[in-house]
Each structure stands twice: as structure tokens, then as C-alpha cells.
Amino acid sequence: MSELRFNELRGEQVVYAVDRQERTFLPDTERCPLCPTRPGGPVTEIPVEAFEIVVFENLFPTFEAPAGAAEVVVYTDDHDGSFAALEPARARDLMWVWRQRYEELGAREDVAYVLIFENRGVEVGTTLHHPHGQIYAFPFLPPVAALELAADERLGGCATCALMERELEGGERVVFASAQVLAYVPYAARWPYETHVVMREHRPSLAECSGDELDALAAALQALTRGFDRLFERPFPYVMVLHQAPCDERRAGHLHVEFYPPLRTATKLKYLAGCEQGAGTFVMDVLPEASAAALRKAIDAA
């Protein structure tokens, strides 16, 4: 069971999940725990010969009942795939899987916030290459979600709606637009290719989205991630995080997906160093307008 300790200087919780030190680390393809269990092959986490999408409780949980949950979401039984390379129909189904888990986990009394995310690439610490994401059902409201609620208060309404309107005014940081979804490198991005994929209508979470909106979200996320891979002609590492309403303030959020890619060039990483870690202030080498122009071109070409 994890232990929570409150860091008084930072005013935030730290989670000690020490069993995770033993978790599977970059196994050979033949020993991938997220592949199906094939006849004559090793028994994996998934006891069937083929599957579409699977969700299961993490063997090395950061949170677990009765104080939250940690789940693994496996997108496909194809070990060599990626979110960007999923068949569009599978990506659309994944939106429904995320929504189902958000609703079911969010209804639990021991869950305050549902965080759906994907870490892609060893650069951001992924330990399994098989295409998958994770879900952490927090027993407390984490700081980023709290900051978003504070931004709503500071701006006197939905901050995400207001910021999206600002992005639409000039449009120079917009990289993808459809009738239901807008994607842009934000005005004050903290990563060279940070991108926010935002529902145009105010939808607190996946649960309030129509089927058409979920389809549009899947299409936008795939257009962006394919563009990322095209940008430097290499698999593009990223952290992808769904931002949704907290469980007990279901009207407060605005569904959007934030990407934090660590690359600043094809071969160079942006590190969180002295200024970022010691002062909490990000220093950037590139303007968001410049990275948006490059990313827009890559998305169009992908």
C-alpha cells in the first residue's frame, strides 16, 4: 500500500509507492506483459489469445483501494503499434473506454480525481513499449487540477474557454481545427511543442460529450500524434494527459488533452534543471509561434 506524506514547503502530497521499484523494466518483446497470452507462449497480464482494448488493475499500483486505483489501458494486441497508428475506429473506441473508466472510477467514494494519461518513449520514463496508457484514480485533488480550478476563479469563468477564445483571435498558434476540437501550442507553453487539444463546446468531461464529439476528439488526437512523428521523422516522445472535471465538482472542468513532449530538436531534450526545479520558472529556447508553425506543417504533411 502506498504512503502519502505531505510536503509542507511545497504544500503538496508526495506518494511513496515503493513496490514500484520492482516493476517490469523494458522487457524483450517475447516477454512483454501487455501482449496476449498465446498458445505455448508465456502467460502475460492478459489471459486471452487476442483482444481489442483491455483495462486491468496495475500490478505495481501507485494507488489502490480503499484509497484510489491504478489501471493500465492496453490499446491493441499489436506490440509494435502506437496510439497514432491505431485504426481510426479503434481510437474512437478508446475514447469510450476512457469515458467508461472516468465514470466508473469517478463514482467511487475513495476517488477525488481521475487522471488518464500516456507516457510515450523512454525519454519520459516509459517502461513498456507495447502501446498503452494508464489511469490513476487519486484519493485527493492533485495540484494541477486545483490550479485549473483557481484559474477559473481568477478569470471569472472557465479559463479553458477564455484561453481558447484568445487563441482563436490570432490563430498563429493553432495547429489543428475541426468543428468540434481545436489544438494549439498555448501562448505560454512550458515545453517546445506543448500542445493543448480542446473541446470547442464547454464539456466538463468525456461523460458530457456526444458520440460525434468523441469521434472528433479521437481524430484530432491522431492527427496531432501523427504530426508529432512526422516533425522530426522519428517516434516522438510525449506525455499525454486528459484534464477533466474533479469527481465532486463535475461542472468545474473543461475537457482538454495536454501534451508535454520533451524534445526541443530531433536529438536534444528539454531538461527541467535549476531554474525549473529550484524556482518553478520555465525557461524556453523557442517561441510557441515558431513551434506551432513547424507542427502545423508536419500535421498537414502527415
Residue with Cβ nearer other proteins (70 or 189): 70
Q: What are the residues facing 132 on neighbouring strands?
A: 74
Contact with other proteins (CB under 8 A) among 29, 100, 127, 277:
100
Contact with other proteins (CB under 8 A) among 16, 56, 187, 271:
56
Q: How far is the CB of 45 from other proteins (least distance, A)?
A: 8
What does the CA dihedral 252, 256, 261, 265 come to, rounded to 10 degrees? -120
99 binds other proteins (CB under 8 A): yes
Contact with other proteins (CB under 8 A) among 80, 211, 265, 300:
211
Contact with other proteins (CB under 8 A) among 41, 47, 157, 170:
47
91 binds other proteins (CB under 8 A): no
Nearest to 54 by CA among 138, 136, 137, 135: 135
97 binds other proteins (CB under 8 A): yes
Distance of CA 12 to the CA centre of its chain: 21
Task: Give, in degrees to the nearest 5, the angle at Cα 296 between 230 and 177.
Answer: 120
CB–CB of 86/222 below 8 Å?
Answer: yes
Q: How far is the CB of 62 from other proteins (least distance, A)?
A: 15
Nearest to 192 by CA among 60, 295, 54, 110: 295
Strands 181-184 and 195-199, sheet pairing: antiparallel
**Of the residues 129, 132, 196, 243, which is catalytic?**
132
Catalytic-residue membership of 130: no
Summarize as ranges the residues that interact with other proteins (CB under 8 A). 45-48, 51-57, 59, 89, 92-93, 96-97, 99-100, 211
